[in-house]
Chains A and B, each alone.
Chain A
Amino acid sequence: MTRAGPRDRPTWLVVVLVAIAYTVGAQLAFVVFDATSIVVLFLPSGVTLSALLLCPARQWPWILLTVAVAEVTVDVSHGLHLASALGFALANTAEPLVGAVLLRRFVPGRLDLTQRRHLLAFLGCCVVAGPLVGALVGGTTIAIGQDRAWVEAFLPFWAGDATGALTVAGTVLAWRHRPPPGAAPAARWALAVLLTVAVTAVSFWPQHLPLFYLPIPLLFWFGFQQRLAITMTAGLAMTVTANIMTSVGYGPWAALQGPIAFKTATLQLFLAVAVVGACLLTVGVAERDSARSDTYAERAARQRVAAVQSLTAQLARAPTSAAIAAAVAEGRLLGELCVVALADPEDGLVHTAEHRALARAARTGRPALDGDPANGRIELGVPVTDHDGPVLGALGFEFAAGSVVDDDTIAFAQTLADLTAQALRRARLYEREVSAARQLQQALLPAYATGLPSVQVDAGYRPADLTHDVGGDWYDVFHLPGDRIGFAVGDVVGHDLAAAAAMARLQAILRVLAQSAPGPAEVLAGLDEASALIHGARMCTVGYADYQPRTRQLRYACAGHPPPLLVTAGHGEYLWDGRSMPVAVEPNSRRDAELVVPADSHLIWYTDGLVERRYESMYAGLDRLAATAGAVVREGAGDPCRTLLDRMAHTGPATDDRVVLWISFNPDR
């Protein structure tokens, strides 16, 4: 015995079902539509066809054998000769076999009658061609056995079998192959059947009042409104009812005059045409609806692809976690509102209470759906996870009441979350690196001397935004022989760890040089010599000054560095003397300048990040700094460096480090 496939019915069950259905149908043909009546509807032809089309080919011999046995049994029990019975058995097995083989040829895969091509193939192969073969054999059998004219035997046989195949197999296949999603209420199709039976009975009542067409509008109405299964069932109900009515002597066909063969054939033809018309209408309407929903699905898919592309591009440009969260939240990717919550780096938890679905997704690590009963809005939360690792955060989406949030939507939301996770992973790595570099740079910054008797020192350092690497800015204050004090501000070109390392090296060299050099110009000349010995030394700007408190003499020199700002009595003035080129550019003579510092004045030295802005001259930045510093001094702000840095901050990203060294000269000594 051949093993049955997982979805196939066992052969014995098929045999039993076919035997029962076929015998009942054949008995009906004999008892209700008996030999004397003009009705030739043969429903069992549809039973055999359905069985063949629904079962694998290896079960076909059993089905056909069952049908042959049932046919012969019924025929002989009704007094037919064995020879005739064998003839009918041959006709009723050849007919569905031809139909099924042909149909499998044209539609090799899964048969779906709601597709126009499949429906037409079914009509051509199983309703026209198969019964034609059956009628050739069966008609001949009748012509010989009952001594009738061949055409009169052939035509009714063909019409009766064709209608049986169409209505029964059509109904079975329609129910079998498009299981209605969410199953139409049984009440609906029962009502359809009852209505059809009633209308058909009424229309086939009067013999001399032609009302037989009344079921047609009803069937067509089903075609517009209902699924093919219901249209087909109604068609079957109409066919059976019309045939019963006619066989018991009601309706126009019962009263027709003329050759009996044509009367019987035209009745079946009328019924078959009505059913086929309703089927084609149903399929046409279904195709239109499905095309419409395809277009909708396509548009949604297109929008989602575009959203993913745009998000990918945005994420590629977003270097930090905050920028990523902003890109996702403002991306208008799905639904009406998007909330992004990132896990707290301290405890790894997502703290949010407003969006319940989001909170649940973050807690469980799985998508979560929630509805707000108050306004009907739908909330969807998806976790942002690092592979199988910890939850990095969660995305929350909110949809208007009545929106469809299906598996597709959830899968798409999860895709967005996965893209976000990928970007976050990269950003966290980057943030860790930058933070390590920052710490190193901070560690390299010298501890400047404090508690000096003659001056007060304040310094501030603001790194560039996270998106920019560490820079090579520094400041320094130290003791010099003879009670002098040295100040330095410098900026190594470049934004990377190498720049930070070069900064540390130069700062150390400068401190050593300053101990023995006679003045600032000589310190800078020494830096030139030192950097010539360092391979690949970078260009840097340095401002250096020394101060003798006893004489209040300040000597200063700028190697390409912006000039120091001297604020006296709330009025700022730049010291433009003592200028020369940056260090490590090329050998050049160093100059310095000197002045006696007025009582109660402040020297402010800085790096170019404080005054440089794109699209404006640095002179404008210098003017702003002078005005701001003057105001800070006049107001007597307690923390002048921080106040100055705050006020000089501008909107937009800070692309460079900013350093301020603030020396307040004490009035006395």
Chain B
Amino acid sequence: MRITRQHDGQTVRVALAGELDLASSGGVREHLEEVVREIRPRHLLVDMDEVSFCDSTGLEALICVRAVATEQGIDYRLVNVHGVALVTLQITGVLPLLVPEHDAG
């Protein structure tokens, strides 16, 4: 799992690349929670473009970060969700929670 971070004014974009599973989700969660705590951006975007696999532990990590971010008033969402990760979000029903615009579209 490779994590890259980009700052653009009030927006922080964290791009994930690789498999979001039992082995990697702990690190991803820690990284995102640190962004929430330390940087407190207005928008936190998690770029899922290069995530090739996402299991329930990955899902839980993304959802837990959402709880923390929402508490801080941060607009938190996933972007570029597709493929295997998109299906996991759809089937578990958390897609509208993590990708609000998807619901609209």
Contact = CB atoms under 8 A, between A and B. Distances in A.
Interface string B5-35: 0000000000000010110000000000000
Interface bin, chain A = 20 to 34
Contacts of A608: 55-56
Nearest to A656: B55
Interface string A610-627: 001011111100000000
B72 interface: no
Given A617-B83, A617-B84, A612 B55 contact: yes
Contact of A615 (B52, B63, B94): B52
- Dominant SS among interface residues on chain B: helix
Interface in A537-566: 538-539, 541, 558-563
A100 B94 CA distance: 94
A136 interface: no
Interface in B16-71: 19, 21-22, 52-53, 55-57, 59-60, 63-64, 67
B87 A618 contact: yes
Contacts of B88: 618
B94 A493 contact: no
B51 to A, nearest CB: 12
Contacts of A241: none
Contacts of B91: 560, 562-563, 618
A580 B69 CA distance: 22
Given A539-B56, A614-B19, A585 B87 contact: no
Contacts of B64: 539
12 contacts: A539-B56, A539-B60, A539-B63, A539-B64, A558-B93, A559-B93, A560-B93, A562-B91, A579-B93, A586-B97, A618-B84, A618-B91
A608 B93 CA distance: 14
Interface of B: 19, 21-22, 52-53, 55-57, 59-60, 63-64, 67, 83-84, 87-88, 91-94, 97
A614 B20 CA distance: 11
A507 B47 CA distance: 36
B84 A538 contact: no
Given A614-B19, A616-B84, A541 B92 contact: yes
Contacts of B59: 493, 539, 582
Contacts of A614: 19, 52-53, 84
A494 B57 CA distance: 6
A75 interface: no
Contacts of B21: 655
A405 to B, nearest CB: 43
A476 interface: no
A366 to B, nearest CB: 42
Contact of B56 (A491, A563, A615): A491
A585 B94 contact: yes
A493 to B, nearest CB: 4
A581 B83 contact: no
B56 A581 contact: no
A585 B52 CA distance: 23
Interface string A567-586: 00000000000011110011
A642 interface: no
B92 A493 contact: no
Contacts of B87: 617-619
A612 B56 CA distance: 10
A495 interface: yes
A563 B22 CA distance: 23
A612 B21 CA distance: 12
Contacts of B19: 614
Given A582-B59, A617-B84, 19 more contacts: A491-B56, A493-B57, A494-B60, A539-B59, A539-B64, A558-B93, A579-B93, A581-B93, A581-B97, A582-B63, A582-B94, A585-B94, A585-B97, A608-B56, A612-B55, A615-B52, A615-B53, A616-B84, A655-B21
B52 A582 contact: no
Contacts of A562: 91
B22 to A, nearest CB: 6
Interface in A22-42: none
B21 to A, nearest CB: 8
Contacts of B84: 614-618
Nearest to B23: A655
Contacts of A558: 93
Contacts of A617: 83-84, 87
Scoring B64, B88, B92 by chain A CB atoms within 10 A of each residue's CB, the highest score goes to B92
B53 A586 contact: no
